[in-house]
Structure 1
């Protein structure tokens, strides 16, 4: 029986897409590492508060403060800065202060990442490739961040340049399909039909698909057919 199932490979991380839209992320520090953490959080639509003296802000972080992209607490970290925090990202050069932040987060059960201290992290940051809605993260579980970057670049170089645009069109088609077949019992059929579209159409077809093409394609959903893009356009005239 055992050969039928995947083997358990312990020692990994549970890689998930953490939804932080409108969540409060507190970043302790204002240097280069903090700047990267801030950008990740802003890209995920989080509400970001940076706790760091003005003199400790690098050019990028100072820019985000000046543009009101983040809130700024102009002093060193204090325990009350954790009030209302949903996540804490600590990136300072003081090991003792970093450990104190970690301990306070544990007491309050706030997920935290202490930069460059794997034992004091609830989660790790990986090397991320972004193309519109497409995000690919490579993680080494804290063992080799630079190697993660190298692997990520290799993966990204194998992808067609228009992958993100194709995904955006597929997302629009899925939303339209839910209006055509909104009932819950249609779920399995919707998933199978969309899978067939993605498997049978080329990436180039998905990129070229217009709103008119989508509407025409959806007319084939009820009979459960997936014609080619050419057939869709010929049939839509």
Structure 2
């Protein structure tokens, strides 16, 4: 069965025809009123009404047509602007009788959305189990397989969300609108809301912003806001205040928003300590124990924007957290800002933990940071992390080396100092090449590899994004089609490019490209050993 198309419909002033007088009819009327629709109940004059529904009829919130259903009801009780056709029909009496089948057929012929209780085969739409918090609406459906289960799943999802998230979304929406109005005041014909959420991040989401590009620079605040929404943990986004919004709007480059608590005390003379810790590819289960302990001991956390939310969720509430305001074209300035914050924290006697995505010394500027803090009298402790350059291919079933196929691995960057394009390596059939920080200039990189370095267009490659995270994505393709694939599928940073014959050792495909979504490879590790405890069974000695 094909999945349903889930949509959100503005039902303001729509007419909902509800057939029946039972408690379900009352619930349907309540929901219709909540979304701004006008419910009309059709039920005989001697029908027994649920108390709530009866009360709404008395108050005038629900119109009652005191008779049985007739075919003309579908085309005469609706709004005048749609020639009297009703906007939706709910049959609450079940689908066993012939009338329900007849109503369903009539509605389908007239293209009127129809929902029949307990009869998925007679429905053209179903209602989701919903959670609402201000502008946030979350809906869950099990496609007619069990409404109780969908309600359970919805409750689980809702309970995992931080408090006040709806209010935070309102504030971020206000911020977004004001930024757009200030930066695009002359483009009133554009529709800010005309974004397609299903399209994901565009392929140019992390595209380099050149200093001479006035058009790009004008939209930097909007890009920064987009990256806040993409990378900040939800519980920290939920804590945003009106003052934070005003600070960002006043001067986003100097704002210190989303601050946690500050546990520093005046007169604290303890020496500061700096730890450079690698956070691995993304999954918190891949943190080293040393890095985890460092995070728990921190007074001040300085993190890259690409450090995933599950890792930042490990930060104790007492710690202050700063996320690097880095995007292409602003990296050096953001790096200087972060280093100065760290130095100020050290001078105040804090334990400062600099969390780096992957490993601090693999294109993480860890050496530069070590040198900076040492020059100011604070020698860092450096904790390694699992680099995505080697672990991401593993999670995508790509062996970086394989006997008879690939006997060496080369890790390269796609972005040099000041955004310059480094010189890519020469082609070697037995080499696996991993490019970090290259997807924002993928087109020019591929052009250089093919035209200058003589890589065959048929060279297998893969774009690996958010490795080891639940939303991991792998795009398997060749050099010939990789640019088109990324352009069509969009971007899901952080990501890297793997190039070489090792990409096809364990996976083969005939299409121009294939997309694989999701990662659960670590979910069941240790579950068997935990099962006896969960069931209350005795553990043998």
TM-score (norm 1): 0.79
Q: Report the Cα distance in structure 1 between the residues aligned to 2:191 and 2:16, rounded to whole angstroms.
A: 38
Q: Do the aligned partners of residues 79 and 226 (structure 1) sit closer, same or farther apart at CA in structure 2, a change above 3 Å counting?
A: farther
Q: Report the Cα distance in structure 2 between the residues aligned to 1:230 and 1:88, rounded to whole angstroms.
A: 46
Indicate the SS of the match to 2:251. Answer: coil
2:103 alignment counterpart: 101
Q: Report the Cα distance in structure 1 between the residues aligned to 2:56 and 2:113, rounded to whole angstroms.
A: 24
- Conserved? CA contact 2:88–2:112, under 8 Å: yes
Q: Do the aligned partners of residues 132 and 230 (structure 1) sit closer, same or farther apart at CA in structure 2, a change above 3 Å counting?
A: closer
Q: CA deviation at 1:207?
A: 4.2
Q: Identify the match of residue 241 of structure 2 among 191, 209, 212.
A: 209
Q: Identify the match of residue 227 of structure 2 among 190, 196, 199.
A: 196
1:218 alignment counterpart: 249
1:58 alignment counterpart: 50
Q: Do the aligned partners of residues 185 and 139 (structure 1) sit closer, same or farther apart at CA in structure 2, a change above 3 Å counting?
A: closer
Q: Report the Cα distance in structure 2 between the residues aligned to 1:100 and 1:17, rounded to whole angstroms.
A: 27
Q: Report the Cα distance in structure 2 between the residues aligned to 1:138 and 1:145, rounded to whole angstroms.
A: 9
Q: CA deviation at 1:91?
A: 0.8
- Conserved? CA contact 1:49–1:70, under 8 Å: yes
Q: Identify the match of residue 75 of structure 1 among 51, 67, 70.
A: 67
1:119 alignment counterpart: 121
Q: Identify the match of residue 255 of structure 2 among 201, 223, 227.
A: 227
1:85 alignment counterpart: 86
Q: CA deviation at 1:230?
A: 6.9
- Conserved? CA contact 1:131–1:164, under 8 Å: yes
1:6 alignment counterpart: none
- Conserved? CA contact 2:115–2:126, under 8 Å: yes
Number of residue pairs the alignment of both structures matches: 218
- Conserved? CA contact 2:240–2:258, under 8 Å: no
- Conserved? CA contact 1:134–1:164, under 8 Å: yes
Q: Do the aligned partners of residues 138 and 101 (structure 1) sit closer, same or farther apart at CA in structure 2, a change above 3 Å counting?
A: same
Q: How does 1:133-172 map to 2 (within 5 A)?
A: 133-172=135-174
- Conserved? CA contact 2:19–2:92, under 8 Å: yes
**Structure 2: which 5+ residue stretches go unaligned?**
76-84, 196-204, 206-218, 260-541
1:7 alignment counterpart: none
Q: Relative contact order, CA 8 A, sep 6+: which one is greater?
A: 1
Q: Report the Cα distance in structure 2 between the residues aligned to 1:191 and 1:49, rounded to whole angstroms.
A: 45
Indicate the SS of the match to 1:123. Answer: coil
Larger helix proportion of the pair? 1
2:28 alignment counterpart: 37
Q: CA deviation at 1:185?
A: 10
Q: CA deviation at 1:142?
A: 0.4
Q: CA deviation at 1:171?
A: 2.3
Indicate the SS of the match to 2:41. Answer: strand
Q: CA deviation at 1:113?
A: 0.8
2:532 alignment counterpart: none
- Conserved? CA contact 2:162–2:238, under 8 Å: no
Moved more, 126-135 or 51-60: 51-60
Moved more, 82-91 or 190-199: 190-199
Q: Do the aligned partners of residues 116 and 230 (structure 1) sit closer, same or farther apart at CA in structure 2, a change above 3 Å counting?
A: closer
Q: Report the Cα distance in structure 1 between the residues aligned to 2:141 and 2:222, rounded to whole angstroms.
A: 29
Q: Report the Cα distance in structure 2 between the residues aligned to 1:87 and 1:191, rounded to whole angstroms.
A: 39
Q: Do the aligned partners of residues 181 and 203 (structure 1) sit closer, same or farther apart at CA in structure 2, a change above 3 Å counting?
A: farther
